[in-house]
Structure 1
Amino acid sequence: MLARHAVRASFIAALLVCASAAAQSFDPSSLKLLQTMERKPTTLARYQYLVQKVQTLSHDDQLLALQFMAFSQAELGLYDQAVFGFPLKNALPDGFTLPTPTEWKSADAVDAITALAAQRRIVMVNEAHHDGHTRQLTLELLPRLRALGFTYFAAEALGDDDPDLARRGYPVRKSGTEYLRDPMYGDILREAIRLGYTIVPYDNALAGEAREAAQAEALYRKVFAKDPNARLFVHAGYAHIDKAPGRLGKWQPMAMQLEKLTGLVPLSIDQTDFLETGLDSSDAYHRLAHAFPSDKPEILLNRQTGQPWSARPAAYDINVILPATLSIEAFGKYKYGGRLNYEQVGLPHVIDTNEMQRAGWLTLGGKRRPYAIDAALCRGTIPCVVDAYYLGEPNDAIAADRYAFMGPTETSKLYLRPGAYRLRASDGNDRTLSESTIKIAPP
């Protein structure tokens, strides 16, 4: 059943683009929920609506709402909260057994995938849409694959309504679906453009197997039909990267259909079968992470053959295991007597402060530095979102990082590369609450 939830989530972005497609897959009450969310002016407004609405919904609509709540939390910078709130676990194959250290050894995922990609023309990496951590690997692979001669980058969240994307150099809201509002996704697009990739939108507003076929056809038409010698890097959701039916039932996944169209076998890399979804140390993910400890994304190589481990070898080539990062302190850790800068709004100088911890992977291996923020930036309006925009970029640009404050005494951190930024706090209606300019010094 959980695998079916992943299937449903895998095409959910298209529903924001075309409500008629949703009508093919959802009952009237679900469709009404989707249409109401689509009319909300901001991600924060959508999240507030779902929080108020979820308890009044039917079971199926609650599931849909919880998915969108998780997507919204990720897009608001609440990465751990998103994963805790929607702990998606795929059903593993019958008879599956975990690898053991006697037969397998750990290897750095970026280094190993780069080596394996050297002889391939198509590389595909998947993500879980509500788990921003699954976007880090693609970001790190972009320069390595570019150095191998990959020149096309396709991202599932992109749309066809922004022809100026590459010239401008950064995505804006109209560049694609809601997923792009996650700063991590924005960072992926910025890096791909900076490195000189040709950016390829390829998704559609269809559902089911028709969506898989249309995705494959778009990639073939936009890339290989024009450039038969092309090398393509694809960032997709869930089981679109599979080269055989299974996780999508009897449907032929996008990667399988692209292989038929091109005659090229993709290197397919999965991050969603073994995800950290909570603190239960007995689940398959935690047992893997305990057996093969690493502070970086890793893959497993057979000690005898050197071949990478895959839990579904017919469907994909490699499982990536991300290091454990979830912390319950993302929901708040009280520090009494802390000092917030509340003089600007006339509140007491010393109040109880609530530190909202964010995941350590947001440093991106030291490329980004923490910058302390607090709810005083909201000028008394809660909830609010604090965005850090690159200096000179407009409000509809995808922020470098963002964080949503849900309480008046909260503190947290943004994670930013060295440079100058415009810090903007806004409410659910996108009304500016405060603005300032900050600089992040090099390490």
Structure 2
Amino acid sequence: MLAHSAVRAGLVAALLVCSSAAAQSFDPSALKLLQAMGREPTTLARYQYLIHEEPSLRSSDQVLALQFMSFSQDELGLYDQAVFSFPLKDDLPEDLKLPTSADWKSADAVDTIVALAAQRHLVMVNEAHHDAHTRQLTLELLPRLRALGFTYFAAEALGTDDPDLAKRGYPTRKSGTEYLRDPLYGDIVREAIRLGFTLVPYDNGLNGQARENAQAQTLYQTVFAKDPKARLFVHAGYAHIDKATGRLGDLQPMALRLQALTGQVPLSIDQTDFLETGLDTSDAYHQLEHTFPSEKPEVLLNRQTGQPWSARPTAYDVNVILPPSLTLDAFGKYKYGYRINGEGAPLPQVMDHNEMQRANWLSLDGKRRPHSIGAELCRGTIPCLVSAHYFGEPNDAIAADRYAIMGFNESTELYLRPGRYRLRASGSDGHTLSESSIDIAPQ
């Protein structure tokens, strides 16, 4: 497995926002790869391009291609595949001692964070951009923090080119960066609008310290300079939530800069130091999960003081540990593979029915129900993308859920809230292959 630091992941993530960052960070061959990706008409087409090109790239460019393949898989609903493709592992502190059950106990992450946030004006939660599971916590926190009086919600993926977003009630492709195309991220934005949050775009096309400074300055000017008593909830990437240097090298993270501008000490919540990245049970994540098993996102509280555990107490306040969900059944319950021919079309190797399993956490504690889909929706064109759109929303709206079907024999499930949907299958060029209406009944 590959091991990458959050620093490199953050730099790569910035490329999705601004090509000038790429020009500063990558050599001509990498830039050529990025430019070729940018010419592809859809995420599915970009994913196919990367599959086709990656084996012939030199090793340094292969790493870059694999990272972008992972981002694409996440956007296409291939959530487990995305994590397996990019097994991100932070470099943990050398002197770190993992907590023991004698001194620490498990507690519900949402309940604990809400209690910690009661007297705060600034709460920050991070995500790993390729791991949609790290978006579940923010989705669950939104109504709880709104009830506490938080009225502003800032999300790194939001852009400034969609002034009608809040009025319309749902995000589209022009609402932000490509991360927003993940249905879970779209769900976060929809929920924030429904709850009456004021949305705050704050990311920029910069890189390095200039990016951290500009992010903090935008949040300060947009929120606290106008409303000093404001309560702001921020959903950010990786180490931008840190209140000390370290994970970004010598850079001062956005949270540290914002604290200096506002005088408000953020409640910083980390989800990326301890992530499930594969099936190796010897890593720190699995050691924690084995000691403190839980079916929900959890934090650890000291049995004597009640204080939450943080692996980096100067940088952030608490670690959230997500329950394990990865399975090789995400690749099919039969041995399966495909190859790309000269025209870029996948060819099936196994013609048996092949169920592609998706994680149970996608039910969002029963709020969403599974709906079966299969390759027959693709009308003979493989690969294809099957998307469920809320009824009445256009094709460029962020889907309620979607999944890229890569083989003629594949089937899987979409996870959808009760209601009516427009089920659409489209090819790599974005053209519609089939369309129908479905109704998801309440439990």
Interval containing the TM-score (normalised by the shorter chain): over 0.9
> Residue 4 of structure 1 contacts residue 248 of structure 1 at CA under 8 Å; is this kept in 2?
no
> Residue 158 of structure 1 contacts residue 175 of structure 1 at CA under 8 Å; is this kept in 2?
yes
Letter in 1 for 2:300: L
Q: Report the Cα distance in structure 2 between the residues aligned to 1:18 and 1:32, rounded to whole angstroms.
A: 15
Q: Report the Cα distance in structure 1 between the residues aligned to 2:224 and 2:61, rounded to whole angstroms.
A: 40
Letter in 1 for 2:197: Y
Q: How does 1:403-442 map to 2 (within 5 A)?
A: 403-442=403-442
Q: Report the Cα distance in structure 1 between the residues aligned to 2:227 and 2:247, rounded to whole angstroms.
A: 31
Instruction: Call closer, same or farther: CA 1:159–1:321 in 2, change over 3 Å.
Output: same
Residue deviations 1:342-372, cap 9 Å, x none? Answer: xxxxxxxxx7210000000000000000000
Residue deviations 1:175-194, cap 9 Å, x none? Answer: 11110110000000000000
For 1:287, the equivalent position in structure 2 comes to: 287
Q: Report the Cα distance in structure 1 between the residues aligned to 2:435 and 2:80, rounded to whole angstroms.
A: 27
2:267 counterpart of 1:258: no
Letter in 1 for 2:22: A
Q: How does 1:86-97 map to 2 (within 5 A)?
A: 86-97=86-97
> Structure 1: where are the runs of 5+ without partners?
336-350
For 1:320, the equivalent position in structure 2 comes to: 320
Q: Report the Cα distance in structure 1 between the residues aligned to 2:295 and 2:67, rounded to whole angstroms.
A: 28
> Residue 354 of structure 2 contacts residue 411 of structure 2 at CA under 8 Å; is this kept in 1?
yes
Q: Report the Cα distance in structure 2 between the residues aligned to 1:55 and 1:3, rounded to whole angstroms.
A: 19
Structure 2 residue matching 1:192: 3-state secondary structure: helix
Instruction: Call closer, same or farther: CA 1:124–1:207 in 2, change over 3 Å.
Output: same
Instruction: Call closer, same or farther: CA 1:17–1:86 in 2, change over 3 Å.
Output: closer
Q: Report the Cα distance in structure 2 between the residues aligned to 1:366 and 1:183, rounded to whole angstroms.
A: 17
Residue deviations 1:62-99, cap 9 Å, x none? Answer: 11111110010011000000001111101100111110
For 1:357, the equivalent position in structure 2 comes to: 357
Structure 2 residue matching 1:334: 3-state secondary structure: coil
Residue deviations 1:16-58, cap 9 Å, x none? Answer: 3432222111111111211221221111011001101111222
Letter in 2 for 1:177: T
> Residue 378 of structure 1 contacts residue 434 of structure 1 at CA under 8 Å; is this kept in 2?
yes
Q: Report the Cα distance in structure 2 between the residues aligned to 1:100 and 1:5, rounded to whole angstroms.
A: 26
Q: Report the Cα distance in structure 2 between the residues aligned to 1:43 and 1:277, rounded to whole angstroms.
A: 23
Structure 2 residue matching 1:438: 3-state secondary structure: strand
TM-score scaled by length of structure 1 = 0.95
Q: Report the Cα distance in structure 2 between the residues aligned to 1:164 and 1:297, rounded to whole angstroms.
A: 34
Residue deviations 1:136-160, cap 9 Å, x none? Answer: 0000000000000000000001111
Structure 2 residue matching 1:89: 3-state secondary structure: coil
> Structure 2: where are the runs of 5+ without partners?
336-350
TM-score scaled by length of structure 2 = 0.95
> Residue 3 of structure 1 contacts residue 247 of structure 1 at CA under 8 Å; is this kept in 2?
no
Identity %: 76
Q: Report the Cα distance in structure 2 between the residues aligned to 1:13 and 1:192, rounded to whole angstroms.
A: 23
For 1:239, the equivalent position in structure 2 comes to: 239
> Residue 5 of structure 2 contacts residue 89 of structure 2 at CA under 8 Å; is this kept in 1?
no
Q: Report the Cα distance in structure 2 between the residues aligned to 1:14 and 1:41, rounded to whole angstroms.
A: 20
Q: Report the Cα distance in structure 1 between the residues aligned to 2:4 and 2:430, rounded to whole angstroms.
A: 35
> Residue 421 of structure 2 contacts residue 438 of structure 2 at CA under 8 Å; is this kept in 1?
yes
For 1:376, the equivalent position in structure 2 comes to: 376
What's the CA shift for 1:3? 8.2
Q: How does 1:138-217 map to 2 (within 5 A)?
A: 138-217=138-217
Q: Report the Cα distance in structure 2 between the residues aligned to 1:252 and 1:81, rounded to whole angstroms.
A: 33
For 2:39, the equivalent position in structure 1 comes to: 39
> Residue 13 of structure 1 contacts residue 157 of structure 1 at CA under 8 Å; is this kept in 2?
no
Structure 1 ranges of 4+ moved more than 6 A: none
For 1:135, the equivalent position in structure 2 comes to: 135
**What number of residue pairs does the alignment pair up?**
427
Residue deviations 1:232-259, cap 9 Å, x none? Answer: 0000000000000000011100000000
Instruction: Call closer, same or farther: CA 1:75–1:165 in 2, change over 3 Å.
Output: same
Q: Report the Cα distance in structure 2 between the residues aligned to 1:389 and 1:258, rounded to whole angstroms.
A: 37
Q: Report the Cα distance in structure 1 between the residues aligned to 2:115 and 2:229, rounded to whole angstroms.
A: 20
Residue deviations 1:96-150, cap 9 Å, x none? Answer: 1110000000000000000000011000000000000000000000000000000
